[in-house]
A and B are shown apart, each in its own frame.
Chain A
Amino acid sequence: MIEAQGLTKSFGAVTAVRNVSFRAADGAITGLLGPNGAGKSTTLRLLATVLRADAGDARIDGVSVRGEPLEARRCMGVLPHAAGIYPQLTARENITYFGALYGMARAEREARARELIAELEMREFADRRARGFSQGQRLKTALARALVHRPQNVILDEPTNGLDVMAVRTLRALLGRLREAGHCVLLSSHVMQEVAALCDSIVVIAGGEVLAEGRPQAIREQAGCADLEEAFVRITAREGVA
């Protein structure tokens, strides 16, 4: 479970994220929805402890990201925006390298890599160098790498960006399985339909602030319209930030 409490972050004079609070529950997919530049990536980076919040805190399964960042990192798997993999390593080596840095023993990380390669249908390219991988192959490798230590919480920044239909379907199926297994999945997106199709809960964010939070149904009711896209436009327009 991920709980953000009043996260605030400025870069110089620009406040990227202001007092952001929300909850992402276990056994659910939570979508961070907002236009470009809304502060989605910054929020996820604060959660992933890549950036340090100026104020506020977040708890990953109760562990404070500000107080115990190393411990908090163990509780989550992170797929940053445009995550790169190592071109001279094979897909399998990319996965086991991260396993090693999570402190997994050799036998354990190799077994886990086999498991992920099967689950993400990576067998045909698992032992090829990543240099010439397609976008979909790269995403699968990066995803497997983020899941190598069986994290309870999974954070994905715009995971479907630039993917073809088949790759998006694989990703959706995987996220669905993670939800069934009781994991907490938090993803960001600026694509309305994707969030509507995938997420159990939505956090609308714009101008660095949370404008609405709840189930898609609740968001629609809050905006007073039946269509989620219309609701999104109304909510962001009402605050004058989009």
Chain B
Amino acid sequence: MSAVLEVFAKEFRENLRDRRTVIAALIFGPVFVPLLFAVSLLLMVEHTFPTGDVPLELAVAHGERAPNLIGQLREYGVHVTEIAADDAAARAAVVTHRYALVLAVPPDYGRRIAAGEPAPLLLYADSSDTSTQRDLTRLRGVLARYNSVLARLRLMARGIDPLLLSAVAPQEVDVSTPASRSVLVLGMLSYLVLLTMLMGGFYLAIDATAGERERGSLEPLLTLPVPRERLIYGKVLAAGAFMLLSLTLTVTGLAIVLRFVGLERLGMSVNFGPATALAAIACCAPLVPLGAALMTIVAAFTRTYREAQTYLGFVLLVPTLPLVFAGAMGLKPSTALMAVPSLSQHFLILSLLRSEPLPSGQVALSVGVTLALGALLVAAAGRLYRREALLG
């Protein structure tokens, strides 16, 4: 056992002195990722928040044909700019982004309104421009309101109760809590946490296997009176320690950053205090042996440092695949899915963020299966190191 610890201590110390490993494990994940996350959240907050206060900008061609409509639009708070434009000019104005929205009143508008026939209005907008979507929705609402008022007035003029128009009156009751709404935004958080955790052990796993062989220090190591599998156990342990360090720092960084983002302005509460952070770390930690052993095995199979980097890049994607599938297929946590490593950790983190109780059976299944698979892979790594072909 002491040989395992000696190898662990040496790999740990040596890699703490390696700038690349330290940047990847202790700077990139724990500092860069929370900051990036915070910036994107802040942008989202800034983007969503001010909707109601900003007047809706609308260019109107031939507004003189519909004075009532224009008056109503202005009353609803729409900032109307009168322009002179025919169909082609209106199109061009939208395409060139001179105006986001152009409303054109056709010549027969007044006649049709007077006759009680549907009066056409042309609304020019660019549906591929996502930044105008919100304005377009607002304008549609305003026009629908005007339409409804006009229709009801006509019914009343004919002596019909306008309530007949409302056959059903649907009302939405939103049962989402501030915490559960924030999960939409924080859905990628578990993905980032798992990725940075793997990144933590990335360079150490390469350095301790492919790097060791490339340097020519593997052969002397194999002449020592230490069973080979103990050497690899020490290396896996060191990679795991770096992953755990990276995980802890990243979650801590996220917890600190989320405190300052101000998600409550979006009507969300971020349930990410010290207790949740600790629980999140505890949920992800069982994945450490699995990830460390997987990266070590793949790196040990490659011939050079560069080759190892390439293949480990793919390995980084493997644990994130279940998350992508879960997101695309809208998977919900179930007992069977809790047996899938990395997916179960993702579900557990989501539940933590929603402040939902964690079913102890599912937690046990997640931890148990992940740890068991990790133990299997660690044993496989030991077998791999007993092979003669290891020297290459």
Contacts and interface: CB of A to CB of B under 8 A. Distances in A.
B216 A74 contact: no
B14 A98 contact: no
Contact of B216 (A45, A80, A88, A98): A80
Contact of B224 (A73, A88, A89): A73
Contact of B14 (A80, A89, A101): A89
A218 interface: no
Given A70-B225, A102-B225, A84 B10 contact: no
Interface of chain B, main secondary structure: helix
Interface in B127-154: none
B225 A80 contact: no
A70 B362 CA distance: 45
Contact of A83 (B14, B17, B220, B391): B220
Contacts of A86: 10, 14, 215, 217
A101 B7 contact: yes
B2 A84 contact: no
A46 B15 CA distance: 32
A79 B223 CA distance: 9
B57 to A, nearest CB: 61
A84 B207 CA distance: 13
A107 to B, nearest CB: 15
B46 interface: no
A145 B10 CA distance: 15
Given A73-B223, A78-B223, A84-B217, A101 B3 contact: yes
B217 A74 contact: no
A93 B217 CA distance: 14
A16 B224 CA distance: 24
A48 interface: yes
Given A83-B220, A97-B10, A50 B391 contact: yes
A103 interface: yes
Contacts of B13: 89
Nearest to A52: B388
Contacts of B226: 70, 101
A85 interface: yes
Given A88-B17, A89-B14, A101-B7, A49 B220 contact: no
A78 B220 contact: yes
A176 B14 CA distance: 35
Interface string B207-237: 0000010011111111111110000000000
Contact of B17 (A50, A70, A129, A146): A129
A101 B8 CA distance: 11
Bin chain B's interface residue count.
Answer: 20 to 34
B6 interface: yes
Contact of B6 (A74, A80, A100): A100
Nearest to A77: B223
A51 interface: yes
A80 B7 contact: no
B18 interface: yes
Contact of A97 (B6, B212, B222): B6
Interface in B176-235: 212, 215-227
A83 B225 contact: no
Contacts of B15: 88
Contacts of A83: 216-217, 219-220
A225 interface: no
Contacts of A87: 215
A191 interface: no
Nearest to B227: A70
A101 B223 contact: no
20 contacts: A49-B223, A50-B391, A70-B226, A76-B223, A79-B220, A80-B216, A80-B223, A83-B216, A83-B217, A84-B212, A84-B217, A84-B220, A85-B217, A88-B14, A89-B10, A101-B221, A103-B2, A103-B3, A103-B225, A145-B220
Listed from nearest, the 5 A-B pairs whose CB atoms lie closest are A84-B216, A84-B215, A84-B217, A78-B223, A80-B219
Given A82-B216, A98-B224, A101-B221, 20 more contacts: A45-B219, A50-B222, A50-B391, A51-B388, A70-B225, A70-B227, A73-B223, A73-B224, A76-B223, A80-B216, A83-B220, A84-B212, A84-B218, A85-B215, A86-B215, A86-B217, A88-B17, A101-B225, A101-B226, A129-B17
Interface of B: 2-3, 6-7, 10, 13-15, 17-18, 212, 215-227, 388, 391
